[in-house]
């Protein structure tokens, strides 16, 4: 994914403005409607009606932090985990919009050992928070 081709969102209020409910929001056949926590979604299962609209990953940051933000004791996969832009995994995400229901989803790829796991989460605007991000590593 070429993040430079997409608008970069760096502030919570920008993400809230993008994801504000649209009057024409309706149900559709998105396979992501149950992805309230981070769910594995392979390329073959990715809904064709979802298209990249913005990036949360700053192209100037060489290695985004793996630090998570859970002030209320949630965990990474919790449907109630906050969405804090400077923290993992939000800081590695692309924002997608559904052309049918006009909902938004976050997507990033988990890399580990011998596997690649594309993950997605529906973007719940009520969980977007403003939090001071950890200091990012710049390219060496």
Overall average pLDDT of the 115-129 stretch: 90
Residue 3's pLDDT band (boundaries 50, 70, 90)? very low
pLDDT at 2 over 50: no
Predicted confidence (pLDDT) per residue in 18-44, tens digit: 887 766 666 777 777 788 889 998 888
Predicted confidence (pLDDT) per residue in 62-107, tens digit: 888 899 999 999 998 899 999 999 899 999 999 999 888 888 999 9
Q: Would you say 106 and 118 are in contact if contact means Cβ atoms under 8 Å apart?
A: no
Residue 138's pLDDT band (boundaries 50, 70, 90)? low
Torsional class of 13: left (φ above 0), alpha (ψ -120 to 50), beta (otherwise) = alpha
Which residues fall within 8 angstroms of residue 71, CB to CB, at 6 or more apart? 82
């Amino acid at each position: 994914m070429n993040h430079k081709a997409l608008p970069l969102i760096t502030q919570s209020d920008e993400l809230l403005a993008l994801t504000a409910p649209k009057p024409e929001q309706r149900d559709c056949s998105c396979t992501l409607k149950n992805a309230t926590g981070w769910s594995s979604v392979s390329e073959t299962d990715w809904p064709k009606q979802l298209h990249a609209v913005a990036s949360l990953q700053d192209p100037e940051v060489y290695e985004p932090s793996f630090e998570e933000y859970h002030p209320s004791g949630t965990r990474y996969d919790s449907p109630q985990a906050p969405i804090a832009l400077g923290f993992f995994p939000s800081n590695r995400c692309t924002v997608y919009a559904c052309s049918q229901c006009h909902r938004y989803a976050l997507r990033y790829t988990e890399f580990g050992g011998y596997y690649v796991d594309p993950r997605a989460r529906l973007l719940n605007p009520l969980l977007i928070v403003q939090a001071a991000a950890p200091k990012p590593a710049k390219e060496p």
